[in-house]
Amino acid sequence: MKTKPTQATAPGKAILFGEHAVVYGQPAIAVPITQVQATAAVESASRGSGLTIVASDLQKRLTLAEDSRKEPLIAAARLTLSHLSAPEPDATLTIRSTIPIAGGLGSGAAVATALVRALANFLSHRLKPAEVSALVFEVEKIHHGTPSGIDNTVIAYEQPVYFVHGKSVERLTVKEPFTLLIADTGRPSPTGKIVGRVRRARQREPARYDALFDQIGDVTDEARRAIEMGDIEAMGPLMDENHELLIELRVSSPQLDELVETARLTGAMGAKLSGAGRGGNVIALVEDSTAAEVAEALKEAGAVQVIRTKVGR
Ligand code: MEV
């Protein structure tokens, strides 16, 4: 029997506060970024062909029969089928994404989320955000080893979240919308590798690293209060403080620092690296009146792309 073609999408994400510390039990705040997205489309294929996954951007064509347990797309499909107790369908699932790969915007989690949703829809199931998030968390472990779970959570719920590993998800109320610029360095930010480096550094200097994680947790809690009260002015200095703490964790880079500095000098209220760091992106909190000027300066300073987004609307 031919099943109707289906399609599903998933947004990117940006971490506003708390990256890295969140891996060690501290809170973090993240928001979905809808200007970039992953899309998965599923259509019936000939009888007996099984499931083929085509990732056009990565020039990958995979079948479930392949023994590639390390391949996240196959893992996402297998986990979904097993969660639904469904047999492998005869279908072609095509993935596309406008989210820069390893760019700190959650591309891996978004692609897996779109895939899980599209495959479930094709099999006439509607999964709840919590189910999607749990499945994608398993896939994230293949990418990252020890993910905190924040990427799959914010992407599956598609809402601003205050996240603590192992606790139930708290949706964050944004009292006053605010504008962010996301400046992409164009350099990769391989999360698993960087998280691994931080882990080894913490093993060498546990007291120093745990103190830094505690301080980042405090900044995140203050930021939560500011966001919930609509105190946007308070957020800028908290972003600056979080960036300084990330420098101390040694996850920044000269290019990230330069973009942060450029944003501040041209009128941003605050700026920081976002995500795992080393490469990836910088986020800057801006007033609408200065957004264009700051974005231009970020491009002149080497950002390959600047996304403007409104959080809380
Ligand atoms: C990556 O988006 C955020 C990190 O905190 C890793 C994680 O939380 O799994 C660096």
Give the tens place of pLDDT for each residue, 142-182: 878 889 999 999 999 999 999 999 999 999 999 999 999 99
List pocket residues of ligand 1, CB cut-off 6 Å. Answer: 15, 19-20, 22-23, 144, 147-148, 150-151, 191, 195, 275-276
Does 12 map to a domain? Answer: yes
Co-location of 19 and 164 in the same domain: yes
Last residue of a domain, one of 171, 190, 222: 171
> Model pTM?
0.96
Atom of ligand 1 at shortest range from CA of 30: 2
Does 212 map to a domain? Answer: yes
Q: 194 alpha carbon to ligand 1 midpoint, in Å?
A: 9
Co-location of 121 and 96 in the same domain: yes
**Cα distances (Å, whole numbers) of residue 234 to 210, 219, 270:** 25, 11, 9
Count of C-beta atoms within a 10 Å radius of residue 206 = 10
> How far apart (Å, rounded) are the C-alpha atoms in residues 270 and 237?
6
For a substitution probing ligand 1, which of 107, 139, 144, 150 has the most ligand atoms within 8 Å of its CB? Answer: 150
Co-location of 163 and 201 in the same domain: no
Count of domains observed in the chain: 2
Residues contacting 14, CB < 8 A, separation 6+: 30, 31, 33, 104, 105, 180, 182, 274, 275, 281, 283, 309
Q: Which two tokens stand for residue 307?
A: 């996304």
Atom of ligand 1 at shortest range from CA of 19: 5
Does 1 map to a domain? Answer: no
**Cα distances (Å, whole numbers) of residue 239 to 131, 245, 268, 284:** 32, 10, 11, 8
| CATH number of the domain where residue 239 is located | 3.30.70.890
Listing DSSP states for 134-201 in one string gives HHHHHHHHHHHSS--SHHHHHHHHTS-EEE-TTS--EEPP-SS-EEEEEEE-SS---HHHHHHHHHHH
Higher-pLDDT residue of 205, 63:
205
> How far apart (Å, rounded) are the C-alpha atoms in residues 13 and 106?
6
Last residue of a domain, one of 171, 189, 219: 171
For a substitution probing ligand 1, which of 13, 140, 191 has the most ligand atoms within 8 Å of its CB? Answer: 191
> How far apart (Å, rounded) are the C-alpha atoms in residues 186 and 276?
14
| CATH number of the domain where residue 152 is located | 3.30.230.10
Mean pLDDT of 212-226: 98
Higher-pLDDT residue of 228, 66:
228
Q: For this structure, is 257 an active site residue?
A: no
Does 103 map to a domain? Answer: yes
State the pLDDT at residue 143: 75
Does 84 map to a domain? Answer: yes
Q: 223 alpha carbon to ligand 1 midpoint, in Å?
A: 18
Q: Which two tokens stand for residue 288?
A: 């609408």
Co-location of 191 and 70 in the same domain: no
CB 88 within 8 A of CB 50: yes
Domain housing 236: 178-311
> How far apart (Å, rounded) are the C-alpha atoms in residues 82 and 123?
12
Last residue of a domain, one of 108, 137, 171: 171
Co-location of 229 and 204 in the same domain: yes
Co-location of 162 and 184 in the same domain: no
Q: 20 alpha carbon to ligand 1 midpoint, in Å?
A: 5
